[in-house]
Amino acid sequence: RQGCKEIILLGQTVNSYRYVDGDRETRLADLLEQIHDIDGIQRIKFVTNYPKDMTRRLLETVRDLPKCSPYLHVPAQSGSEEVLKRMKRGYTVADYYEMFDRIQDIMPDAAVSSDFIVGFCGETDADFQKTVEMVQRCRFKNSFIFQYSVRPGTKGADLYADDVPLEVKQRRNVELLAVQNAICQEDNLRFLGRRVEVL
């Protein structure tokens, strides 16, 4: 009623949303449907997503609701199985690829972005190359790339030594960013000469 046209649902793992009231369970897909029915709302977005909770039902709901933005931010953090285990992410590289393939199957035109941390404790050159391969395979719309830094009080700081030299972290950051930028540049060329309608 005050003129809001866009709703953004924000949470660390927003797609894991679950609310139980007696016998009634509300998941994110249900919430999207409820918001979609509100007069005056033109756009609905949600961030950030957890790979293992990117369900078929949620993806089909986003696909089928015209007000839902076909944008999915699903952080991978690393393309290395060993690094993901040390990060205690709770999903595998295979889980991520399975999820990504599900997105491509249900929403082939979705824009998918990700987060990556380079130089996490114990990350080898081989581990890093697996991350490069993930970015190349998934061709993310965008990737937010960060160098690992110790945060006191976190499990990473308590369990592992920060053993990747700063110059290696910086080099990997620049390299992964260059890979992502090249993908963006190639993909953006497809839109030259096309009219894009913005709500």
CB of 176 closer than 8 Å to CB of 131: yes
The values of phi and psi at residue 162, to 5°, are -80, 85
Question: What's the pLDDT score for residue 198?
Answer: 56
Q: Does residue 199 register a pLDDT over 60?
A: no
Question: What's the pLDDT score for residue 155?
Answer: 83
Pairing relation of β-strands 24-27 and 18-21? Answer: antiparallel
Summarize pLDDT for 134-175 with one digit per residue, the tens. Answer: 999 999 999 999 999 999 888 888 899 999 999 999 999 999
**Cα three-residue angle 3-6-12, rounded to 5 degrees:** 135
The closest of 123, 134, 147 to 79, measured between CA atoms, is 134
Residue 11 — pLDDT band, cuts 50, 70, 90? very high
- Quote the pTM value: 0.91
Work out the average pLDDT over 113-124: 98
Question: What's the pLDDT score for residue 157?
Answer: 86
Structure tokens at 113: 């972005």
Q: At what angle do helices 166-188 and 125-138 cross, to 10 degrees?
A: 10
Structure tokens at 151: 């945060």
Distances in whole angstroms, Cα of residue 36 to Cα of each of 6, 44, 116, 123: 11, 8, 32, 43
Q: Does residue 197 register a pLDDT over 70?
A: no
Handedness of CA 51, 53, 57, 63 (dihedral sign): negative
CB of 174 closer than 8 Å to CB of 148: no
* 193, HSE (Cβ side, Cα atoms, 13 Å): 2
Cα distance between residue 199 and residue 20, in whole Å: 34
Question: What's the pLDDT score for residue 114?
Answer: 98
